[in-house]
Structure 1
Amino acid sequence: MSDHWSHSTLVRNSRSALRWTAILLGTAAFISTANAAPGDNVNIVRDLAGRVGPIIGSALACRDIARPRVQLIADKFQAVIREASSNEAERDDLTRLLDRYVADGRTAVSGGRVDCRVAERQLSDLEQSIAGPSLSGALAPSSAAAATAPTVPVQQPPSIPTLSSVNSVSNVRGVTDREIRFGICGPFSGAAKELGRQMKLGVETAFNRANEAGGVDGRMLKLVAADDGYEPSRTLDAMKQLYEKDQVFGFIGNVGTPTAAIGIPYALERRALFFGAFTGSNILRNDPPDRYVFNYRASYAEETDATVRYLIKLRHLQPRQIAVFAQQDSYGDAGFAGVAKAMRTLGVSDGAILRLGYKRNTVDVDDAVNLLRLQKTPVKAVVMVATYRAAAKFIEKTKDVYPGLIYTNVSFVGSTALSDELMLLGPRFASGVIVTQVVPAVGGYSSAVMEYKNALAKYFPGENADYVSFEGYIAANVLIQGLKKTGPQIDTERLIDNLEAMRNIDLGLGAPLNFGRGEHQALHKIWGTQIDDSGKYVPIELE
């Protein structure tokens, strides 16, 4: 449907209440004469959908217009659709048609073709036009015809969403009266597959816990996964599979920075929620924030900044004694940028920082090790921005050559997987390795940790507590709170409005979570952890 058609329709709909009354009464008069065929009724409702739908959509897009007013219009038109349809297929077709017109109206407001003052006037005119007898009454057969015509009641199947829920907007795919469907795009194969598996596990644990308690207004939460192998070249197809084939409402827990560079534009173009991704990259943290992108976790820049300050202030290293081992892509770039920023505050230029690298989805660290050996200034600490296998391989190849070298990594490494890899080499490779975290230590006894562990044991017995799945669990719980605040009439725009209004969310982390119109990152706190001789993580103070 063209913008020109949508615009002209909205202009027609903004005429006076008398014109609307004439249209509706003329329709009723036409239907009640000459025993109009059922097909005629359907065609008339199709025409009315093109007039009423854009008004519903534009009103929904304006937050100052009270939802009950729109609900009343929706209820009346639902009655029209029921009475004009002779079977379920016709009713579904009319509902889908109205969906498209509602979407056009909403797009007209978001695209600036209609402002909310016009939308308010259109709604007021429509309210006056349909005051009194309901639309269903206007479209009903005359009393004489009704007395002789057979009646065939058509029941609305519970599995088909009704218009009265006002879910007739473009972004409300994946929502029925029984479920809300989300997608996760991540590595479920390849070298980083444990990151995808754990993130999915954490989100599903939170969803299962919510579902057992009745879901969100009776709707069950469902997670659908698509594998991109942590390769950006596969991300677009995975996103399309989730959005177009699986019809998800939005995305939660997508894994990776280079893959997010593909996934975010896809989601933004479709005004789909992109929530709680497992990445700390700044491409998800624009200023002002992208409306549809929300982060639970602190950024890589914040993690590496905390690490540099720890190494200099508490371990008493000189800036020139700190090197960076980073993946050669946007993930590594994001972590290195955090180190560079921290160094600049100390008067050290970016060019003086030694950067070692490796290719994504490989453990080929030989070039990095050789470059480290060429350095004349002794390196005493390496800030790693890597995944677990590459990080473990780098430690394996440098541990004996540089005894006493301090190894740190950001949370994306996959803490449990890293510890497991290192312990296979021997406790001396694991002991002392530091990982910054965006959740509290999973070995602790805070209320958040205990709740997570209990839920994990209940729904996925045999799975061990893990920092990645814990992050997925927390991110999903923040989203669940937002969904509950939105209420039964769920659509993306209303959900985002409610997320932006959430303040001081207390999930038992020891740090409050906050969103706002100018703040789409809930957490800024960094926790420090270190692997002990047994391969377990113990908390450490970073400042």
Structure 2
Amino acid sequence: MSYPMQCTTSPAPLRHRAWRTLSLMAACLLGLPVAQAGVTIAQIVPLSGPLAGPGMTFSAGAAACIEDTNRKGGVAGKPVKYVKVDDGYDPARSVAALESLLERPDRPSALLVFGTASSLAVSKRAAELKAELPILPTGSGARSLQESEDPNLFHVRAATAVEVDRLIAAHAITGIKSFAVIYQDDALGQDGLAAARATMARLGLPAPPAVGFARGTKDFDTVARQVAGAAAQAVLIVGPGPDIARFIQSARTAQLTARLLAISNLEPSQLVKTVGTDAARGISIAQVFPDLVHPRLPLAREFTRIVGASPDTALLNPYALEGCIQALTVIEAARRTRDGSGPALRQALENSSRLDLGGYFLTFSRGRHAGSSFVNIGVMDRQGQLRF
């Protein structure tokens, strides 16, 4: 895809202005590339509060891949800038962070935003401010995001509805006929519950009993007892990773015998850290990114190499990989345009058709901003590893 040459001049002393203008005109006439404006990737992410752990891992993954790009010369010879802002997992702070970022001299070319509620709030405020730039939600494939008509939103992970559908369908094949749903009572959880009901109706299974929990819930013992009373054969858990892990801990204490199924927000090492390898064994977890334990795709191998150069070996997990994939998506879009501004990157993504990030493909177009449908399902083994 080619783009119109940006042939403009900026104020300069008179003796230099004529030469600069002639040089730019010559470049345009010869079809030579004009120096590309720098790219700034900003991330609004919880670095404090209940989801600080996942938030810091997401940001570290994005930073590691941006640093690797810069070591290789950046984009068009210019380094990619990276800025992160802590929102404490609070949508109001997310919006305030957006407003502050848009006032900076190095106005962001793209935004990575953690969580469903924060991404929706930032998306809405950006539209009100008429800000045009790609906004990539992190850690969420909620329907309210994936089906949004906001042209700024682009998604690098499969929808939560796809995860839920495949988790239920895969276990229904084994003979499980009754499911219950535990969900955080927000946009993500409600979307997951709706998807579960739709899948079970499609499969001719009875509607699932559902138990919601509020944001910030710490004690899941009551929720576990409520679920036990439903006598379901399997329980699907939709919510943030730490909350899923805490529910599983309570479920084991309550001796809940149902098969436990979790969406990809649950990071396997986080689960083991919370409940131990014995209690983690047998948990089914959907994955929306390539396997890093046994890396087969070039993307996974390359990310393993990048992380190997980092002192933080804890980055070898799906949270960090998602942050990396988002950063690489923006970087690849920047390579396809001579203008590193938000509007140009948004157009580049829409015109990219198919991005190959090393065997992990993203398909975007003007009418399609949900780039991936990749879902795999693994089961935790006795060593605390996810096996496929």
TM-score (norm 2): 0.87
In the TM superposition, what is the alpha-carbon distance from 1:193 to its structure 2 partner?
1.0
1:339 Cα deviation from its structure 2 partner: 0.8
The one of 160, 185, 195 equivalent to 1:338 is 195
Query: Which deviations, in whole Å up to 9, do the C-alpha atoms of 1:113-154 show, x marking residues without a partner?
Result: xxxxxxxxxxxxxxxxxxxx99989xxxxxxxxxxxxxxxxx
Per-residue CA deviations over 1:39-88 (Å, capped at 9, x if unaligned) read xxxxxxxxxxxxxxxxxxxxxxxx99x724x61xx24xx4xx324699xx
Q: Name structure 1 gaps, 5 residues minimum.
A: 1-62, 92-132, 138-161, 167-175
The answer as to 2:306 corresponding to 1:455 is yes
Size of the aligned set, in residue pairs, is: 378
Pick the aligned partner of 1:292 from 123, 148, 152. 152
Q: Which residue of 2 aligns with 1:501?
A: 351
Matched, 1:82 2:12: yes
Flag the 1:386–1:338 CA change in 2: closer, same or farther, 3 A: same
> Counterpart of 1:471?
322
CA RMSD of aligned residues (A): 3.1
Aligned counterpart in structure 1 of residue 45 of structure 2, from 186, 190, 197: 186
Specify which structure has the higher proportion of strand. Answer: 2
Counterparts in 2 of 1:185 and 1:343: CA distance versus 1, 3 Å: same
Partners of 1:242 and 1:420 lie apart in 2 by: 35
Instruction: Say whether 1:236 aligns with 2:85.
Output: no
Gaps (5+ residues) in structure 2? 29-34
Specify the alignment match of 1:514 in structure 2.
Answer: 363
Bigger Cα Rg: 1
Q: Measure how far apart 1:506 and its partner are.
A: 2.6
Q: What letter matches 1:462 in structure 2? A: T
Residue 523 (str. 1) matches residue 372 (str. 2): yes
For the Cα contact (< 8 Å) 1:199–1:472, is it kept in 2?
yes
Question: Residue 67 of structure 1: SS of its match in structure 2?
Answer: coil
For residues 272 and 520 of structure 1, the distance between their equivalents in structure 2, rounded to whole angstroms, comes to 13
Alpha-carbon separation, structure 2, partners of 1:251 and 1:336: 31
CA–CA separation in structure 1 for the residues paired with 2:77 and 2:20 = 30
1:463 deviates by 3.2
CA contact 1:276–1:476 (8 Å) conserved in 2:
no
The residue that corresponds to 1:203 in the other structure is: 62
| Match of residue 134, structure 2, among 273, 276, 282 | 273
Residues of 2 paired with 1:497 and 1:179: CA distance? 16
Q: Per chain length, whose mean CA-contact separation is higher, i.e. which structure has more relative contact order (CA < 8 Å, sep 6+)?
A: 2
Alpha-carbon distance, 1:336 to partner: 1.2
Tell me by how many angstroms 1:254 deviates. Answer: 1.3
- Name the residue aligned to 1:225: 84
Higher helix share: 1
Identical amino acids, percent of aligned pairs: 22
- In 1, the alpha carbon distance for the partners of 2:343 and 2:105 equals 21
Contact 1:326–1:335 (8 Å) recurs in 2: yes
Cα pair 1:186 1:255 within 8 Å, conserved: yes
Q: Which amino acid aligns with 1:399?
A: R
Question: Is 1:359 aligned with 2:214?
Answer: yes
Q: Output aligned runs, 1:35-434, within 5 Å.
A: 67-68=4-5, 71=7, 74-75=8-9, 78=10, 81-83=11-13, 179-245=38-104, 247-269=106-128, 270-286=131-147, 289-313=149-173, 315-318=174-177, 321-348=178-205, 352-375=207-230, 378-402=231-255, 404-423=257-276, 427-434=277-284
- Name 2:31's counterpart in structure 1: none
Separation of aligned partners in 2, 1:267 and 1:475: 19
CA drift at 1:293: 1.2
In structure 2, what is the Cα distance between the partners aligned to 1:508 and 1:217? 21
1:452 is displaced (CA, Å) by 0.4
Q: Deviations over 1:278-334 (max 9, x none)?
A: 3101222236x4321111110111110111101111x2111xx20111111112112
Distance 1:336 1:246, change over 3 A: farther
Bigger drift between 413-422 and 476-485 goes to 413-422
Partners of 1:457 and 1:463 within 8 A in 2: no
The equivalent of 1:56 in structure 2 is none
CA shift at 1:238, angstroms? Answer: 2.2
Instruction: State the alpha-carbon separation in 1 of the partners of residues 330 and 57 from structure 2.
Output: 18
* TM-score of the superposed pair, with normalisation by structure 1: 0.64
Tell me if structure 1 keeps the 8 A contact 2:134–2:152: yes
C-alpha distance in 2, partners of 1:491/1:263? 18
Whole-Å separation in 1 of the counterparts to 2:20 and 2:244: 67
